[in-house]
Amino acid sequence: MSFSLLDVRDRLGVQPGRMFIGGRWVDWDGPRFDQVSPATNEVMTSFAEAGRRGVDMAVAAARRAFDEGPWPRMAAQDRKRMLQRIIERIYDAEEELAQLQTLDNGIPYHFSRSSRLSGKACADIFDHYAGWIDKITGETYPQFSDASNFHYMSFREPVGVAGLITAWNAPLAMFAMKAGPALACGCTVVLKPSENTNLAATRLAQILAESDLPEGVFNFVTGAGETGAALAGHPGVDKVSFTGSAAVGERIANASGLNMKRLSLELGGKSAGIVFPQARSVAGAATTLLGLCSTFLSGQVCSTSSRALVHVSVLDEFVHHATEQVRNVRFGNPFDAATTSAPMITRAHLERVLGFVESGKAEGATLAFGGDRPGGELANGNWVNPAMFVGVTNDMRIAREEIFGPVLSVIPFETEEEAIRIANDSEYGLAGTLWTADVTQAFRVARAIRSGSVGINGYASIPNAPMGGVRRSGIGREGGWPAIEAFTELKTINFNLDI
């Protein structure tokens, strides 16, 4: 018998979603769309499709609040106090937010409430950025020559109206990673969550709506790609911060270039996890790499090392331990403590992942396990059994394209140089891991990998360190000070002291 999540939905009092624009919840007379749970494909509720009209309304409100309102000009301590009250409300709602996030994307509830994607983590991220508010400083510059008596200083000013567009895999953390620094810098914002995951974002929007933020500072719209495109291309938006696929990121870059919008693009990856014979524990590396692909969000994480580059001398050991590890995967009701893994976010994405499994087989890789769908009570959800391919070469589609699912491609190598070359032979450059107890080798290889971040003997990103990618993985960095730079413009003032 299959399970249902409607009881959780009803207990949480989920209502048809509304948009928050110009300080008011909008009674939308336009089209709406349904959001379904990926675990059961039951309808959770419906949301407004903002389209161009809704985006125009939201950008106009944000524009007014930026050009005429107090927020960008507010003293640091006042702005900080307003955010602190919001942060306290988020901490108070952390359980509810975690449950909504599990309804949103099917992440097992124990991860939703305790991992770096939790409600508490969301509040912590806002708190981190609130802490920057009175530290957003400029610089002064020494006289360059004695030709004049001009004195120079720079100020960091809010970039303006920020359009924030998020992906579905981390609804709470992503909201905070964008709205946190944008608001801290004095920007006004229009935030659009992924059309697949609006529940937790709507609850966060409610907390911001009930705060003392001046009218129009925070605006919340819902909708799919067309709404995102309307926001990203809107002439009233000064800055777009986007997290999502490289294909959409490229479309945004094309559209935004026309009016010189500032861009931050956090896009996909095809990262390599390199397992050297010097690894302290090949078993540990295999368990972690297979685990990252098969538990938690089931490989639907941008930084996942989905290509395992394994030295030939430890290949059999790696495959043995990865095969052992997959036995720990448990599907089921995401609110059950035993459930380890999330379903694929949509039916279409499930089909896409299954298509990659077929392409791996067709191109001659050996499927060691998985790649099919569980039946029984799980048939209604979008689960796919974690797959591992061995004998993969780096020119196969499963090694080149971002699958964003539980498929690990194992590629053998013989020398360190070869491993680095294969790791860098990718159009992406987001993250990567390497496994060795040789410290010199660890540093040498970490420096040689062309990506925004590298994990040595594991991987975990934190919100106060830079995160982002090179090449097709994006433009700019989130996390810590780089995010403050991304939501500010530098202004240089020169002051003639001879007059």
**Which is closer to ligand NAD, CB of 269 or CB of 273?**
269
Q: Sort 369 into a burial class: Cβ within 10 Å, 0-12 / 13-18 / 19+.
A: middle
Q: Which residues have CB under 8 Å from 153's CB, separation 6+?
A: 138, 139, 140, 141, 492, 493, 495
Shortest distance in whole angstroms from residue 477 CB to ligand NAD: 10
Q: How many CB atoms lie within 10 A of CB 134?
A: 13
What is the contact surface with ligand NAD in residues (CB under 6 A)?
165-169, 192, 194-195, 224-225, 228-229, 232, 243-245, 248, 251-252, 266-269, 302, 402, 404, 430, 467, 469, 474
Q: Sort 298 into a burial class: Cβ within 10 Å, 0-12 / 13-18 / 19+.
A: buried
Tallying the residues shown for the chain, one arrives at: 499
Collapsing DSSP to helix, strand or coil, 465 comes out as coil
Taking phi first (over 0 means left), then psi (-120 to 50 degrees means alpha), and beta for anything else, what does residue 440 get?
alpha
- φ, ψ dihedrals at 491, nearest 5°: -120, 130
**Which is closer to ligand NAD, CB of 251 or CB of 471?**
251
Is position 377 annotated as part of the catalytic site? no
Q: How far apart are CA 108 and CA 25, in angstroms?
A: 31
Contact predicate 454/465, CB 8 Å: no
The catalytically annotated residue of 49, 195, 266, 416 is 266
Q: Which residues have CB under 8 Å from 46's CB, separation 6+?
A: 16, 17, 32, 33, 34, 35
**Which is closer to ligand NAD, CB of 72 or CB of 469?**
469
Collapsing DSSP to helix, strand or coil, 150 comes out as strand
Give me 311's structure tokens: 């030295």
The radius of gyration of the chain from alpha carbons, rounded to an integer in Å, stands at 24
**Which is closer to ligand NAD, CB of 396 or CB of 467?**
467
Collapsing DSSP to helix, strand or coil, 156 comes out as strand
Shortest distance in whole angstroms from residue 437 CB to ligand NAD: 29
Collapsing DSSP to helix, strand or coil, 64 comes out as helix
Shortest distance in whole angstroms from residue 438 CB to ligand NAD: 29
Shortest distance in whole angstroms from residue 224 CB to ligand NAD: 5
Shortest distance in whole angstroms from residue 325 CB to ligand NAD: 23
Of the candidates 427, 425, 357, which has an alpha carbon nearest to the alpha carbon of residue 388? 357
**Which is closer to ligand NAD, CB of 197 or CB of 488?**
197
Amino acid at 482: P
**Which is closer to ligand NAD, CB of 65 or CB of 467?**
467
Amino acid at 230: A
Q: Give the nearest residue (CB) to ligand NAD.
A: 228
Contact predicate 295/330, CB 8 Å: no
Shortest distance in whole angstroms from residue 345 CB to ligand NAD: 7
Shortest distance in whole angstroms from residue 297 CB to ligand NAD: 10
Cα-based torsion angle of the residue sequence 119, 21, 50, 468 in order, rounded to the nearest 10 degrees: -40
Q: How far apart are CA 392 and CA 26, in angstroms?
A: 52
Shortest distance in whole angstroms from residue 405 CB to ligand NAD: 11
Q: How far apart are CA 66 and CA 63, in angstroms?
A: 5
**Which is closer to ligand NAD, CB of 265 or CB of 310?**
265
Q: How many CB atoms lie within 10 A of CB 43?
A: 12
**Which is closer to ligand NAD, CB of 154 or CB of 245?**
245
Q: How far apart are CA 291 and CA 51, in angstroms?
A: 39
Active-site residue list: 266
